[in-house]
Chains A and B, each alone.
Chain A
Amino acid sequence: MSDSNFIIELSNISKSFGDKTVLDDVSLYVKKGEFVTILGPSGCGKTTLLRILAGFGSADEGEIKIGGVDITEVPPHERPINTVFQRYALFPHLNVYDNIAFGLKLKKVKDDEIEARVRRALKMVGMTDYEWRDVNSLSGGQQQRVAIARAIINRPQVLLLDEPLAALDLKMRKDMQMELKEMHKTLGITFVYVTHDQEEALTLSDTIVVMSEGKVQQIGTPIDIYNEPVNSFVADFIGESNILNGTMIQDKLVRFMGRDFECVDAGFGENAPVDVVIRPEDVYIMSYTDSGMFEGVVQSCIFKGVHYEMLVNTPDGYEVMIQDYNAFEVGQKVSMIIKPSDIHVMKKERTTNTFEGKMVDATHVEIMGAEFVCAEQQGFEGGEQVMVEVDFDKIDLMDNKEDGTMMGDVRFILYKGDHYHLTIRTEGGDNLYVDTHDVWDDRDIVGIKIQPEDIRIKRA
Chain B
Amino acid sequence: MKKFFAQAYLWLLLAMLYAPILIIAIFSFTEAKVLGNWTGFSTKLYTSLFSGGVHHSLLHAIENTFIIAIVSAVIATMLGSVAAIGIFNLRNRKKMIMNTLNNIPMLNPDIITGISLFLLFVSLGITQGYATVILAHVTFCTPYVVLCVIPRLQQMNPNIYEAALDLGATPWQALRKVLIPEIKPGMISGFILSFTLSIDDFAVTIFTIGTGGLETLSTYIYADARKGGLTPELRPLSTIIFVTVLVLLIIINIRSQRTQKLKEAK
Contact = CB atoms under 8 A, between A and B. Distances in A.
Contact of A75 (B163, B165, B177): B165
The 4 A-B pairs of least Cβ separation, nearest first, read: A89-B159, A103-B167, A89-B163, A93-B181
A83 B157 contact: no
Interface in B131-175: 157, 159-160, 162-171, 173-174
Contacts of B166: 54, 56, 76-77, 81-83, 151
A90 B167 CA distance: 11
Interface residues of B, number: 20
- Grouping DSSP codes into helix (H, G, I), strand (E, B) and loop, the B interface class, with mixed when no group exceeds half, is helix
A76 B266 contact: no
Q: Which of A54, A91, A136: most chain B Cβ within 10 A?
A: A91
A110 interface: no
Contact of A77 (B168, B177, B178): B168
A102 interface: yes
B159 A87 contact: yes
Interface residues of A, number: 27
Contacts of B160: 89-92
Interface of A: 54-56, 75-78, 81-83, 85-93, 102-103, 106-107, 136, 150-151, 154
- Grouping DSSP codes into helix (H, G, I), strand (E, B) and loop, the A interface class, with mixed when no group exceeds half, is mixed
Given A55-B165, A83-B162, 6 more contacts: A56-B165, A75-B171, A81-B166, A89-B162, A92-B160, A151-B167
B200 interface: no
B168 A89 contact: no
A91 B167 CA distance: 12
A150 B165 contact: no
Given A91-B164, A93-B182, A77 B159 contact: no
Contacts of B171: 75, 77
A88 B157 CA distance: 9
Contact of A107 (B157, B162, B168): B168
Nearest to A51: B162
Contacts of A93: 181-182
Contacts of A151: 166-167
B178 A76 contact: no
A77 B165 contact: yes
Given A92-B182, A93-B182, A77 B163 contact: no
A124 to B, nearest CB: 17
Contacts of A55: 165
B167 A87 contact: no
Interface of B: 157, 159-160, 162-171, 173-174, 177-178, 181-182, 266
B168 A83 contact: no
Contacts of B165: 55-56, 75-77
Nearest to B170: A77
A106 B167 CA distance: 8
A91 B168 contact: no
Contacts of B173: 106
B71 to A, nearest CB: 28
A54 B160 CA distance: 14
Given A76-B165, A106-B169, A87 B182 contact: no
Contacts of B170: 77
Nearest to A103: B167
Nearest to B165: A76
Contacts of A107: 168
A81 B166 CA distance: 7
Contacts of B157: 87-89, 92
Contacts of A75: 165, 171
B241 to A, nearest CB: 34
B176 to A, nearest CB: 11
Contacts of B162: 54, 56, 76, 83, 85, 89
A91 B178 contact: yes
A89 B177 CA distance: 14
A133 B162 CA distance: 23
Contacts of B177: 102
Given A56-B162, A89-B159, A154 B167 contact: yes
Contacts of B182: 92-93
A245 B167 CA distance: 50
A89 B173 CA distance: 17
19 contacts: A54-B162, A75-B165, A75-B171, A77-B169, A77-B174, A83-B162, A85-B162, A85-B163, A87-B159, A89-B163, A93-B181, A93-B182, A102-B164, A106-B167, A106-B168, A106-B173, A151-B166, A151-B167, A154-B168
